Amino acid sequence: MAYPTLALHVLISAPGDIPAEDLSTVRKTISQWNLSFGRVVGLTALPVSWTEHAVVEFGDRPQAILNEQIVDEADLAIALFYDRLGTPTGQAESGTAEEVKVLAEAGKPVSVLVNTGPRAPLSGSALEERQRLTEYLAELRKKALVFDYAQVGDLVGHLNNFLSRATGRFQQVAEEAKKEQFGGMDPSDGVWPRAEVSESQRADSKGRMKPRRKWSLVLHNTSSGPASDVDFAFEGVKEGELFEVSREDGPLGTIPPGQEARFPLLLAAGSPKAVDCVVTWTDVTGAVRQTRATVRT
């Protein structure tokens, strides 16, 4: 089902020695976070990296071009390190180091994660490169939190915590955008109808147990205030079809926020399997509102 969302660009920054499995884990975790939490908070994290989104361009140093194309547009970043710091850019110790610096100075959330899993001993130039990385991280740890991970589970945990915390600052923006799109109201607010069924066992004339189904119409007030003068009507019920509830005439009264009202739903053989239910109600400001949903049995 489609839903309104605020898209956030997540820069994935790393030197070339980061294991492919780590990069795959980052993308998979972002995807799973979107599925599990993105819809709830109205945010979608879109991974961005120079290997997939940079284009050929001339006229400036390479890292400056990357900064303009993808780094400056990022809303948050995940920086990964293994044994290499990377090639100096003329402005910073490496491309990843410059990207961390640019985003941090812009006040954007950056997560720096270091793979500390087991690996073969280093020697020669590889050992020297590792020493450069160690020195850089030592300086970085003086002004930022840097987390280590030794296994996939650690990496996933750090990523989920970072995404949930970093995107918190954008949730208010998402809520305002959602309200603006729907005339200043949260589209999830309303008195929403649905059908529920309960089953019980009943003995027939011969003592055999048979299931008995009992349907109810449920009106759920999801708004933050009381819904008063609640009323509803079914649409799409043809003449001769039975799809109605047992209720008194006139408005139903007030449903408190987060509460429900239930009514026996009367059905028979040949009743429609789905009808539209239009609920009218008055919110806490005195405005008359309407919610429409398909009720299925």
- Asked whether residue 29 carries a pLDDT value surpassing 90, the answer given is yes
For residues 271-291, average pLDDT: 89
- Asked whether residue 237 carries a pLDDT value surpassing 90, the answer given is no
Do residues 245 and 224 lie in contact, with contact meaning Cβ atoms separated by under 8 Å?
no
More confident residue, 101 or 179: 101
Say how many C-beta atoms besides its own lie within 10 A of residue 117's C-beta.
14
Residues 6+ apart with CB under 8 A from 291: 190, 191, 192, 193, 278, 279, 281
Percent of the chain with pLDDT over 90: 49
Query: Tell me: the pLDDT tens digits for 243-280?
Result: 888 887 888 889 998 899 988 988 888 888 888 999 99
CA distance 141 to 88: 20
pLDDT at position 214, please?
85
DSSP state letters, 177-224: HHHHHTTTS-TT-SEEEEEEEEEEEEE-TTS-EEEEEEEEEEEEE-SS
CA distance 204 to 209: 6
Query: Tell me: the pLDDT tens digits for 82-125?
Result: 999 999 999 999 999 999 999 999 999 999 999 999 999 999 99
pLDDT at position 150, please?
95
Do residues 266 and 275 lie in contact, with contact meaning Cβ atoms separated by under 8 Å?
no
pLDDT at position 64, please?
87
Least confident of 72-86, 169-183, 283-297: 169-183
Query: Tell me: the pLDDT tens digits for 193-228?
Result: 988 888 777 776 777 777 777 888 999 998 888 999
More confident residue, 269 or 281: 281
Least confident of 5-19, 41-55, 130-144, 255-269: 41-55
pLDDT at position 175, please?
61
Q: CA-based angle 117:123:128, to the nearest 5? A: 90
Burial class (CB in 10 A: 0-12, 13-18, 19+), 35: exposed
As given in the structure block, the two tokens for residue 236 are 């799409």
Closest among 194, 210, 219 to 297, alpha carbons compared = 194
DSSP state letters, 241-283: --EEE---SS----B-TT-EEEEEEEE-TT--SEEEEEEEEE-
All structural domains of the chain: 6-181 (3.40.50.10140), 191-296 (2.60.40)
- Asked whether residue 192 carries a pLDDT value surpassing 70, the answer given is yes
- Asked whether residue 136 carries a pLDDT value surpassing 80, the answer given is yes
Q: What is the pTM of this model?
A: 0.60
